[in-house]
Amino acid sequence: MNPNSNPRPVWFLKNYWRLIDLADWVSFTELLKSLDTTNGNLSVHLGKLVEAGYVEEVRRFVGRRSQSRYRLTRTGRKALLDHVATLQELAGQHLSRSL
């Protein structure tokens, strides 16, 4: 299987990181549009991240519409940075073995 045949996971992670890194608060709608996923998929994943304490959620009304906004907690940012560092380490090990 060609590792470049499905670039979506890399794109998804890169865009998710950029959104979280650049924004203090990100609305559900912004995440949905930027990540090109479904309402249900995003909702479930965000719910799990909120439950784990990695993401903070604030719900409010704008006019008569409900709006949910999200941001990383300190715990979430540390977990994400640790995860990225582990991925980089694994990629480095893989590259050194293949050379």
The model's confidence at residue 35, banded by pLDDT at 50, 70 and 90, is confident
Q: Which residues contact 17 (CB under 8 A, 6 or more apart)?
A: 80, 84
Domains located in the chain, CATH noted:
8-98 (1.10.10.10)
Q: Dihedral, CA atoms, 79, 53, 24, 84, nearest 10 degrees?
A: 10
Q: Which of 6-10, 19-23, 53-57 has the highest mean pLDDT?
A: 53-57
Give mean pLDDT, residues 13-29.
Answer: 68
5-9, 28-32, 46-50: segment of lowest average pLDDT: 5-9
Residues 6+ apart with CB under 8 A from 36: 12
